Amino acid sequence: MAEDLNKLSKEELIEYINSLRKQLSSEKYGLYFDRKATPEDVVEKCKTNIPFLEHIANKDILTDKTNKKYANNVLIEGDNFEVLSTLNMIYPNGVADVIYIDPPYNTGNNDFTYNDNFVDNSDSYRHTKWLNFMEKRLKLAKELLKDEGMIFISIDDNEFAQLKLLCDAIFGNQNYLTDFIWINNLKGRQISVGGAVKTYEHIILYCKDVQYAYTFSGNIKELQGDMPLIYKSKEYEPYEDERGKYIIKNELYNTNSAFNEETRPNLVFNIWYNSNTDEIKFTNINEEDISDLDYIKITPHRNADGEHLYHAWRWSKEKIINEQYNLLFQDIDGKTYKIFTKIRDIYSTNIKDIITDSTNGNSELNDIIGKGLFSYPKPVKLIKRLISFSENKNSVVLDFFAGSGTTAQAVLELNKEQEDSNRTFIITTLNEVSDAVLTTYLRTEGLLPQKSTKKQLSSYKLSNEYQQLIKSDDYFDLGIINRVTYERIKRILNGTAKKGKYNSTSLTGNLRFFRTRHLESASSKDQNKYNLVEKVNGLLCFLEDSYDEFDKGNGWTIYSSNDKSRYLGIFTDYFSENEFSCFLNHLKDVKGEIIIYSFSLDNNVDKNIEEIVEENLSNAIVKAIPTKIYEIYRKIIDDVKRDY
């Protein structure tokens, strides 16, 4: 909008100025940028077109359909704003345990496109466009994180400061955990405008809710082997009790003064210890002392921040009672005790915020799909390390800047290397076709002269012929998702890499392929629901993890899970009683859990349908569609209209 201020009426200018005043008055500290200066085409399109997911079954890769261990991983072709919107429609309570993204760094060297145009250093709205682009996607991503989830974001100095402020605003600065320094070029980059040459990039880490945060740990022996300069050898004297060996490192109190009687009142209390009976009691800080002389009082550690009295304990009262065997009470002159936590994993050490080891991302990718198809892929070892910081070995990993597919390979390798690991990934990328690849294709097909210019290519992109081409399978085959992302996953799952270890061995896992589509929004809310219900099959297959078409009729489809233990029935022809009876008959003989989705104009299942299902199928539950999906879509769009 700001670019066209001269074209605005007096009333529009006043409205624009008032919106800026509102932002300034509501945001006392943080990042300010003009959210309405550079509208984004894909977002504008979603205001009048409902995005949905279409399952492209012939692109699925299934290496094991019988073993439950190998769950379904998902690759989605589409703009990540659309993809994140559709995922929010079906996962309103979150789905991802870990998010890793490697967004464009906005260097000004053609690494970031906005509305199909590269953003370079001469663009006065360079940072504004990047912030508008990132903010919308990070807001949607936050909603997809589970409460205990975390997000890692790779970035360099071009946007690091802006990204940190943006994430503070979206995730809350209390949920900021770490800025990992990844040293990826120890020689230093030779291009520098002055000062010291750069050797590292940032990987910033936020959590969804800090109450679920914990200190990352790793095996000291492995870390010393990988990063000997960072993890020095330190020997701790091992002790032993009835539960086995342990070492002592830290006291029970939280050394961070930010955790105190104000911020963690439930973790600030007196502990009373009876060394004769090994019993523990508690009192509040201001409560009278226990009269029993056999109990020694242990007060919280004094806080020296100048504002608070005490440090909080790291454990709750309940945890102290339940896991007292992991506490060591050390007598201090017979007057009180220091309390230490016992570490049973004697080779465990805390992870530091610097990463120096990694493999070569370029050579890894070149070995699998060949040279020259993608620039600067992240190393697999780096992404494996980040994902492994999550203690959940069944975690869902989301990457909505998937690029070459490094995250997919990292997840599949972890599942092979770690016992009981059954992580899955959801990755998405836009199927961008580079000008170089497109030009070669058009010249080969005789659609451009052999010595065509950039101007001729630009002119061709304005033609109707080009609009037809971008909808074709030929164009899909030219894009990054087919030539790089999908190709990489296919080759490591099938053991058909160009060379290297995946030329003779393979990884195990299943891949489901989706593509974003659009449904033009109607003027009537109910009509939108009638139209949308015919397009929700892909979304529901994704949600219920049941992709294989089992049976089909007029207005209904039945899908099954990999191992046929679960069935998904979708019935959309609400007005046909005969078809509903036919639909139920095809479900009567299946064994396993059955989930039925039936059309409804609200979020309530028709009581008559529930009764009929209950009479015929004892192992089925019924849910309503598509109102909830539509309501979430409307909320996303209403938020976008308000803010942008």
Reported confidence tier of residue 437, pLDDT bands at 50, 70, 90: confident
Q: Where are the alpha helices (DSSP H) in 91-239?
A: 126-144, 160-171, 220-226
Residue 15 has pLDDT above 60, yes or no: yes
Kindly report the length of the chain. Answer: 644
C-alpha 343/C-alpha 245 separation (Å) is 9
Q: What pLDDT does 355 receive? A: 96
Q: Where are the beta strands (DSSP E) in 139-290?
A: 145-155, 176-183, 200-207, 217-219, 239-241, 244-251, 270-274, 279-283
The mean per-residue pLDDT over the stretch 566-579 comes to 87
Region label for 195, one of left (φ > 0), alpha (ψ between -120 and 50) or beta (otherwise): left
**CA nearest neighbour of 520 among 510, 535, 508, 506:** 535
Task: Give 105's contacts (C-beta < 8 A, 6+ positions apart).
Answer: 111, 112, 155, 156, 158, 159
Residue 192 has pLDDT above 70, yes or no: no
The mean per-residue pLDDT over the stretch 69-75 comes to 82
199-224: per-residue pLDDT in tens? 999 999 999 999 999 999 999 989 99
Q: What pLDDT does 621 receive? A: 95
Residue 453, amino acid: T
Q: What pLDDT does 24 receive? A: 66
Q: Determine the 3-state secondary structure of 493 from DSSP.
A: helix
Least confident of 89-103, 569-583, 608-622: 569-583
Q: What pLDDT does 2 receive? A: 45
Residue 25 has pLDDT above 70, yes or no: no
Q: What pLDDT does 193 receive? A: 72
Q: For the chain, report the end-to-end CA distance as a whole number of angstroms.
A: 10
The mean per-residue pLDDT over the stretch 495-510 comes to 94
Q: What pLDDT does 616 receive? A: 92
> SS3 breakdown of the chain: % helix, strand, coil, rounded to 5?
35, 25, 40
C-alpha 426/C-alpha 382 separation (Å) is 18
C-alpha 244/C-alpha 412 separation (Å) is 34
| 85-123: burial string, b at 16+ Cβ within 10 Å, e else | bbbbbbbeebbbbbbbbbbbbbbeeebbebeeeebeeeb
Q: What pLDDT does 188 receive? A: 84
Contact 176, 167 (CB under 8 A): yes
Reported confidence tier of residue 7, pLDDT bands at 50, 70, 90: confident
Q: DSSP characters for 318-366?
A: HHHHHTGGGEEEEEETTTEEEEEEEESSTTEEEPPSEE-----HHHHHH
Contact 257, 250 (CB under 8 A): no
Reported confidence tier of residue 174, pLDDT bands at 50, 70, 90: very high
Residue with the bigger pLDDT between 342 and 372: it is: 342
Contact 87, 144 (CB under 8 A): yes
Least confident of 92-101, 188-197, 588-597: 188-197
Q: Which residues pair with 548 in a beta bridge?
A: 560
Contact 443, 460 (CB under 8 A): no
The mean per-residue pLDDT over the stretch 134-149 comes to 97
Reported confidence tier of residue 29, pLDDT bands at 50, 70, 90: low
Q: What is the value of pTM for the model shown?
A: 0.84
C-alpha 634/C-alpha 612 separation (Å) is 32
Q: What are phi and psi of 342, to 5 degrees?
A: -85, 130
Strands 72-77 and 510-520: parallel
Reported confidence tier of residue 32, pLDDT bands at 50, 70, 90: confident
CA atoms within 13 A on the CB side of 48: 4
Contact 453, 114 (CB under 8 A): no
Q: 């663009």: which residue's tokens?
A: 123
Strands 200-207 and 145-155: antiparallel
DSSP state at residue 576: -
**Which tokens go with 283?**
């009192």
Give me the helix-helix angle, 380-388 and 406-417, nearest 10°.
60
The mean per-residue pLDDT over the stretch 18-31 comes to 69
C-alpha 571/C-alpha 554 separation (Å) is 9
Show contacts of 601-609: CB within 8 Å, 24+ apart: 601/526, 601/529, 601/627, 602/627, 603/627, 603/628, 606/574, 609/580
Reported confidence tier of residue 26, pLDDT bands at 50, 70, 90: low
Q: DSSP characters for 373-405?
A: S-SSPPPHHHHHHHHHTSS-TT-EEEESS-TTT
Reported confidence tier of residue 66, pLDDT bands at 50, 70, 90: low
Q: Sheet of 244-251: strands edge to edge?
A: 239-241, 244-251, 336-343, 327-332
Least confident of 7-11, 75-79, 313-317: 7-11
% residues pLDDT > 90 (the chain): 71
Contact 549, 537 (CB under 8 A): no
Reported confidence tier of residue 27, pLDDT bands at 50, 70, 90: low
**pLDDT, the chain, mean:** 91
